[in-house]
Structure 1
Amino acid sequence: MRCFAYGLVLLLLIAPPLAAQTTGDAAAPAAPSPAPAQDTAAELVRLLENDEARAALIARLRQGAAAPAADATAAEPALVRQIAERSRAIAEGAAAGLSSVARTLSEVGSGALNLGRPGLAALGDLALGVALVALGLAVSYLLLRAAVERSRRWLALRAAGRGWVGRTLGLAGGMLFDALAVLLAWGAGYALALQVVGGATGRMGIGQSLLLNAFLMVEAAKLVLRAALSPRQPILRPVPLNDEAAAYWFLWLKRLVSLLGYAFLFAAPVLATTSLAAAEALRVVVMAMALVIAVLLVLQNRAPVRAALTARAAQGRQDMLSRTLSLLGQVWHGLAIFYLVALFAVWLVNPREALSFMVGATAESALAILAGGLVLFLIRRAVHLSVRVPADLAERLPLLEGRLRAFVPRVMQAVRTVVLVCIAALIAQAWGLVDFLGWLASEGGQRVAGSLLSAGLIVVVGIAIYIAVSSWVEYRLNPHYGTAPTPRERTLLSLFRNAFTIALCVLVLMLALAQIGVNIAPLLAGAGVLGLAIGFGAQKLVQDIITGAFIQLENIMNEGDVVAVGGTSGVVERLTIRSVSIRDLSGTLHLIPFSSVDKVSNMMKGFSFHVAEIGVAYRENIDEVKAAMQEAFDQLAQSAHGAGILGPLDMQGLVQFGDSAVVVRARIKTLPGKHWVIGRAYNEIIKQVFDARGIEIPFPHLTLYMGQDKQGAAPPLPVEVTPVRPKARLAPVPGR
């Protein structure tokens, strides 16, 4: 009841078109009849013919013109007065309808109901003729419906497994069979009314004609319901409902259509031929019954509809459509009941114009919602189909599908927002709240719409350019297609992609703002001043960028190189215009800004050398050591590591006399970065060859020298052997 009260107050505040129509209808009965209009004209002629009366009239008109203009607030009814007038109109209409019902019931109860000229006999003849036509309609339509149901089952079997095309054709065929059944039954009833009931005259009565027309319109409405819900053929059902829900809604909607259709198109017009009050009472009672049934249907389906509307939000979606549907799911029953009560109240006040306005506005709103939903459905289907990248393209551009899937939800959210705004504008246009189409047709509306459309196109084109350039860079960096990129190409392409993305974002933003009417000249000037301020305040950042630019121009290091920068050695993983990221041997990632770099040592530029410095004992023959080192190199060249060797062994000979060894040096020229693995393999082979040849590789040890006398003989070394005595064992202590 609280919802009803709030709804009625809201109806009084937001229905100016209904108020205008209601005011017009309320003023219509007060318009003077032709006879009083003629009396007024004669009185005006008499006043103009009399000089004194004419002078008095002119003076009064001048006095009225000289009077101060009425206040604008007095010209327009105040809000309280508008509410009072609309409340009075609704109350008067409701009171008139209820009084008509009460008067008719009292007349029926007292036996004073006047049936008018036809009389009881004529009413009995009318009822008999109508009953015969109704019986013929019912029998013929039931027989035809049985054939139609078999045809619909056959169409459902044919449509199974044929996709949406087969279901659409089956649905169209079922509607065609239903329409033929209705037309044949209507034709049979028409022939029965003319040939049998009409008798020798061959003319049907008004009641029979009303029944046939009501049958045709009611069954046409049921045909649409049967096609939309298809309670017995689920394969042909276009709406997403299960069998139980489809049967439930078809049953109750069919009852409502039959109740309203036959009451307003047949029963009430027939009663109007005998008693207008009885016809009006019947309409009020039937509308009240339909209102009660509709409210009960809304309350019974409150929870299922809420669950369906909040399903997107329950799945974790947080877009505008999900939030709108979730909010609507919480209050939809109150809005529906308010609409039904308002429809009934408007029908009581002005059943001709106001009711037609509400029905038309409702139909336009429903069409706007259906059209918006269809547009969203088609866009979603098209986007899902386009996001699926072909297998060969996905192999060439492995990141393209992920990039598209990252952009598509944002684009879809913007499209949903635009469609929802358009739906809201069309609904407001249908109810007369705003003249959206008129504003759109005006110069200002076209300018705003064109600006927004241009800005949206600029953003879409910018996104497309970004995806195209990023895909091209990704293709160039793919080593499995085309020419394998060099480290310098990888570095420069990565830097180009970052710089191009920043420049494109700034350009698209400026162009979009310019299209919607924002003056970008102050923004450009402010950006220049801000850049100057940043240049003075962030000198380290400027130094980083300048040093990084020169390092890139000199091509001293690229991604994947092993370098020593700022006291840190490792593999270059990421290189930007401002800093370099290096991962060392232990796996630690170091970020080094270029402002702190004074020297860059690249260990993988062009080629590499493994420097083998082998220490041997002083007693070894150097030529034999060189031959052993050459033999080890020959074995290395014949192994799997030989592909990384670029030249012969560079033997440099003995280079150092150490404390306990002499050092022989040799160099092996290798591919960039291969000197570590080739050096390890060469050391293993050196150890094996030296062991086979008996070449000693000295290691730190101590030699005891006893000295010599003048004759060259060494003095004897006295050695005393002391026997080791076993340690005495202590006797165990009892108790321990």
Structure 2
Amino acid sequence: MFARLFVLPSTLFICLLMLLPMAPAQAVGLPSLLNGSPKAQPEATEPLGQSLDEVIKSLENDQQRAKLLADLKKLRNATKKAQTPEEDGVLGLIGGTLASLEKQFSGADSPLTRWSEELDLAKDELSALMLPASEWLPMLFAFALILMLWSLLAAALIWLGHRVRTRFGLTEELPQHPKTWDMLRFALRKLGPWLIALLITVYMSYALPSSLGKYLAMVLAYALVVGTCFSAICVIAFSVLDGPHRHRALYILRHQAFRPLWLIGSFAAFGEALNDPRMVTSLGIHLAHTTATIANVLAAIFTGLFILRFRRPIAHLIRNQPLSRRLTRRALSDTIEILGTFWYLPALVLVAISLFATFVSAGDTSTALRQSLICTVLLVLCMVINGLVRRHALKPQRGVKRHALYSDRLKSFFYTLAHLSVWLAFIELGLRVWGMSLIRFTEGEGHEVSVKLFSLGGTLIFAWLIWILSDTAVHHALTRSRKGQANARAQTMMPLIRNVLFVAIFIIGMIVALANMGMNVTPLLAGAGVIGLAIGFGAQSLVADLITGLFIIIEDSLAIDDYVDVGGHLGTVEGLTIRTVRLRDIDGIVHTIPFSEIKSIKNYSREFGYAIFRVAVPYNMEIDDAIKLMREVGQKMRTDPIQRRNIWSPLEIQGVESFESGSAILRARFKTAPIKQWEVSRAFNLSLKRHLDEAGLDLATPRMSIQVVTAGGGLEKE
């Protein structure tokens, strides 16, 4: 009902608009009606009534109503066609872009025109400052007096500092491996005299009257002090990156980069100081603006020259990573290698973009140039703070703690969070320089998104902490022994347990994170259960391998570096997974055997072994003499410096085992260290053979009995 009441007046109003062009007299009365003028109401009553009658007649007639509907549709289509912009395609887009650029760089609003106007206005303001010589002398006197006072105070403080360093034997430059105190002392030596002299000069300058010379001197001193501070901070940042094979690059940067950095910081600070309201009032808006822009442009140009000059030492600092990181984190090392090689290209592009933005904006010092320089300073400070945090993290701890493994890994975890916090602070400050803020985003439109992201990050950090604690507990439990060293069982079980533990924590953490972000994880859990059942029924052999391997590992039937006989293959265990065991035999062939195919395990590496000897006694040697000789050889073996660690018992003579080829076979054995029985056997046989050779006896010579029948029927035996 409401829709009908709304459609009917709308239709009537449209029809009135359609009829207005056809009746000029009627159109005259409509504005008066809409304006609500009391005097115009009688004049508009008759035309309005006639219009309504015509509309009613048109709606009562089917043909006229259909025609009116068709006209309204045509009007609607024409309106849409007029409102829809024509799409010219890619060429049209390119042409429109070029046209907009041409419009921006030509005409009265082009950068060249604005630059010429700005320079003309600055020239006029400079001409206005050309006062008579009588008025310039006090300004020049104030300028020279302040700079002279500041320089003399700084020189006196530098001389005093030099005397103190000479008295206590302190070095002026940073040592090869500077500590935190060394870097702080270096910054104070470079910055302290000039900063203290500036503060004293500012206090004493209040006695002088306000003038342009006084303000210019203070601005110049301020810019030079800021440049010194900037260069000192950069040199400290380079020194924080000290490490193996970086000494030459650090030497170059410490001794050659200070003055270029000082120029960059001084010009940037000078351009910033010229925006002070007092300087703007004294010099003029356009003159101060132009001078500040020139100073910022010079800072950007010197930055580009610094990048080109020192690109190789800085690339060396970036690329040269510790050996442990290069071996364990190959992807990260390759990425850092690429960044170190081409780091100067994006830096030069940033400088070029800043200069281009400054030109386009006609020297607007609030554009990308100032913001880029401030972001550079923030980046240097971030690097310094991160370097100091890293140095503190690498500092060796005093004493041996009971739970040193826990403390080391937790310390690494918290230091990583500290590095992350420093970088987040840098990102927030950098965004504020460009007029944005993460904090304002989280408090405004992005509140819900930020809450979900914070919950995700908190869940991942908490899962990481749980992983560290559980992995450390497993490592501590499996490697605990009398000697405090990892045993073969720990090397066997630790990778398996760590993998299972990591997968479990990762899955639980992802489910909790998705739940915190507002997702319904119930279908996901149900689907995972169904998939698990399908895998269990469809991969029975895999399940058999997993279960058998789990029991083998729990029962400690074999471990890495054990010498075993498994499935008809004899070799050393090189690796274990949750499904297979990997052996390498004596020929170097690797055998991968599923756990489900293992029926029995012969392990030669557990607790001890026996070196068994079977010695054939010569026929012309008494048994007792042979036993005595074997005991002598055994005793000599036990005193041998090489073999005595492998032999754990005296030689055990087990007696005559059998007879072969007319010789008695004596059996004896040594109790040996695991896997050393074959080495002991070979050494014993060699020593016994040498003793028999010295005695003129032939060991294990086959005997043959020959009977010859003579012609007289007698026997001769040989």
Q: TM-score scaled by structure 2?
A: 0.63
Per-residue deviation, 1:567: 1.9
Q: How does 1:386-535 map to 2 (within 5 A)?
A: 386-387=393-394, 389-390=396-397, 418=424, 422=428, 425-430=431-436, 436-442=438-444, 445-467=446-468, 470=471, 482=483, 487-488=488-489, 490-535=491-536
Distance 1:390 1:476, change over 3 A: farther
Aligned residues of 2:139 and 2:214 also touching (Cα < 8 A): no
Structure 1 letter corresponding to 2:350: W
Is the 1:309–1:326 Cα contact (8 Å) retained in structure 2?
A: yes
Letter in structure 2 aligned against 1:151 = A
Give CA deviations for 1:120-176 in whole Å, capped at 9, x if unaligned. Answer: xxx99x847633532542453354244234235336635746734334545345223
CA contact (8 A) 1:495 1:576 kept: yes
Quote the Cα distance in structure 1 between the aligned partners of 2:134 and 2:560. 97
Query: By how many angstroms is 1:383 displaced?
Result: 2.3
Partner SS state of residue 218, structure 1:
helix
Quote the residue 1:331 is aligned against. 349
User: Could you tell me how far apart the structure 1 residues matched to 2:532 and 2:516 are?
Assistant: 25
Partner of 1:150: 155
Q: Distance in 1 between matches of 2:650 and 2:115?
A: 115
Q: Distance between the aligned counterparts of 1:643 and 1:232, measured in 2?
A: 66
Distance 1:643 1:296 in 2: 77
2:90 is matched with none
| Equivalent-residue separation in structure 1 for 2:203 and 2:120 (angstroms) | 40
Deviation at 1:499, TM superposition (A): 3.0
User: 2: distance between equivalents of 1:251 and 1:644?
Assistant: 75
Name 2:54's counterpart in structure 1: none
Counterpart Cα distance in 1 of 2:115 and 2:500:
76
- Counterpart of 2:668 in structure 1 is 666
> Which letter maps to 1:165?
L
Are positions 1:603 and 2:604 aligned together? yes
- CA distance in 2 between partners of 1:519 and 1:322 (Å): 44
Q: CA deviation at 1:227?
A: 0.8
Aligned-partner SS, 1:222: helix
Cα drift, residue 565 of structure 1: 1.0
Distance in 1 between residues matched to 2:555 and 2:235, nearest whole Å: 70
Say if 2:390 is the partner of 1:383: yes
Secondary structure of residue in 2 paired with 1:429: coil
Letter in 2 for 1:564: D
Q: Contact 2:604/2:675 (CA < 8 Å) preserved in 1?
A: yes
Equivalent AA in structure 1 for residue 184 of structure 2? V
Identity of aligned residues (%): 21
Give the match for residue 685 of structure 2: 683
> Which residue, out of 334, 337, 344, partners 2:362?
344
Q: Which has the higher contact order (CA 8 A, sep 6+)?
A: 1
Contact 1:583 1:590 in 2 (8 A): yes
Question: 2:73 corresponds to which residue?
Answer: none
> Take 1:606 and 1:467, find their aligned partners in 2: how far apart are those partners?
34
2:219 maps to what in 1? 221
Q: Deviations over 1:685-725 (max 9, x none)?
A: 5445656777653335777654344542559x9xxxxxxxx
Provide the rounded CA distance (Å) in 2 between the counterparts of 1:235 and 1:553.
57
- Which amino acid letter does the alignment assign opposite residue 266 of structure 1? S
Query: Which stretch shows the higher mean deviation, 383-392 or 562-571?
Result: 383-392
The residue that corresponds to 2:195 in the other structure is 175
Relative to structure 1, the CA distance from residue 345 to residue 521 in structure 2 (aligned partners, 3 Å threshold; closer, same or farther) is same
Write the distance in 2 (CA, Å) between the matches of 1:593 and 1:536: 19
1:245 lines up with 2:246 in the alignment: no
CA distance in 1, matches of 2:401, 2:110: 72
CA distance in 2, matches of 1:415, 1:177: 36
Give, as a single letter, the amino acid of the residue that structure 2 aligns with 1:174.
W
CA-to-partner distance for each residue in 1:105-129, whole Å, 9 max, x for gaps? 99xxxxxx9x9xxxxxxx99x8476
Q: Secondary structure at the match of 1:558?
A: coil
Separation in 2 of the partners of 1:154 and 1:228?
A: 21
The separation in 2 between residues aligned to 1:688 and 1:105, in whole angstroms, is: 110
User: Which residue of the partner structure matches residue 573 of structure 1?
Assistant: 574
Measure the CA separation in 1 of the matches of 2:184 and 2:567: 69
Aligned twin of 1:204: none
2:282 is the counterpart of 1:266: yes
Compare 494-503 and 224-233 and name the one that shifted more: 224-233
Structure 1: state its 5+ residue gaps: 1-50, 64-69, 107-112, 116-122, 191-211, 269-282, 347-354, 718-736
2:138 is the counterpart of 1:133: yes
Preserved CA contact (<8 Å) 1:221 1:257: no
Residues 427 and 649 (structure 1 numbering): CA distance in 2 closer, same or farther, change over 3 Å? same
Q: CA deviation at 1:450?
A: 4.0
Shift, 1:614, TM fit: 2.0
Output the amino acid matched with 1:544: D
8 Å Cα contact 2:143-2:214 kept in structure 1: no
Structure with higher Rg: it is 1
1:542 aligns with 2:543: yes
The residue number in structure 2 matching 1:194 is none
**Paired residue secondary structure (1:580):** strand
List aligned pairs for 1:38-437, cutoff 5 A. 91=109, 127=132, 130-138=135-143, 140-154=145-159, 157=162, 160=172, 163-170=182-189, 171-185=191-205, 187-188=207-208, 190=209, 212-230=210-228, 242=257, 244-245=259-260, 248-249=263-264, 264-266=280-282, 268=284, 284=286, 295=297, 298=300, 302-305=304-307, 315-316=318-319, 318=335, 326=344, 328-344=346-362, 358=366, 370-371=377-378, 373-387=380-394, 389-390=396-397, 418=424, 422=428, 425-430=431-436, 436-437=438-439
**CA distance in 2: counterparts of 1:438 and 1:155, whole angstroms:** 49
Alpha-carbon distance change, 713 to 238 in structure 1, aligned in 2, over 3 angstroms:
closer
Task: Name the CA shift for 1:526/1:646 in 2 (closer, same or farther; >3 Å).
Answer: same
Instruction: Count residues with an aligned counterpart.
Output: 586
Distance 1:142 1:367, change over 3 A: closer
Contact 1:557–1:602 under 8 Å retained in 2: yes
Counterpart residue type for residue 559 of structure 2: N
The answer as to whether partners of 1:633 and 1:649 remain within 8 angstroms in 2 is yes
- Code of the residue aligned with 1:383 in structure 2: it is R
Query: What residue in structure 2 maps to residue 707 of structure 1?
Result: 709
* Amino acid paired to 2:611: H
Residue-by-residue CA offset, 1:296-355 (whole Å, 9 max, x unaligned): 765576443456689766754736987996553242343222332354376xxxxxxxx8
Q: Aligned ranges for residues 9-48 of structure 1 at < 5 Å?
A: none
Contact 1:514/1:520, CA 8 A, preserved across alignment = yes
- Going from structure 1 to structure 2, the CA distance change for 1:55 and 1:537 (only over 3 Å counts) comes to farther
1:429·1:437 contact (CA, 8 Å) conserved in 2? no
Amino acid at match of 2:508: L
Q: Which residue of 2 aligns with 1:206?
A: none
Query: Over aligned residue pairs, what C-alpha RMSD do you find?
Result: 5.8
Bigger shift: residues 407-416 or 241-250: 407-416
Deviation at 1:225, TM superposition (A): 1.0
Q: Is the CA contact 1:615–1:697 (under 8 Å) kept in the aligned structure 2?
A: yes
Which residue pairs with 2:63 in the alignment? Answer: none
Counterpart residue identity of residue 334, structure 1:
A
1:559 aligns with 2:560: yes
Following the alignment from structure 1 to structure 2, what is the Cα–Cα distance between the partners of residues 146 and 178? 9
